[in-house]
Amino acid sequence: MHLLQSGVDLSVIAMWLGHESIETTHQYLDADLATKKRALDRLHSPTVRRPGRKAQPRLVAFLRRL
């Protein structure tokens, strides 16, 4: 965890530990709360745009004729 937090790439850590694949190394990782918070802080809140309802002239004319 300390190597990962220091910025060492996961593939390098896997090689140092003699793991055949990164998936093996990943099984041993357990991100602490500080790491999770830093990851969440990097995210941006999504912007949600609601489509405006535009009156369609033909529809409005039809409804007025009713």
- Average pLDDT, integer, range 31-37: 74
d(CA 22, CA 16): 11
Predicted structure pTM score? 0.45
pLDDT at 14 over 70: yes
pLDDT of residue 51: 74
**What mean pLDDT is reported for the chain?**
83
Task: Give the residue-averaged pLDDT of 30-35.
Answer: 70
- Return the DSSP state at 20: S
Collect all residues with Cβ–Cβ distance below 8 Å to 4 and sequence separation of at least 6.
10, 13, 29, 35
Residue 42 has pLDDT above 80, yes or no: yes
Higher-confidence residue of 28 and 10: namely: 10
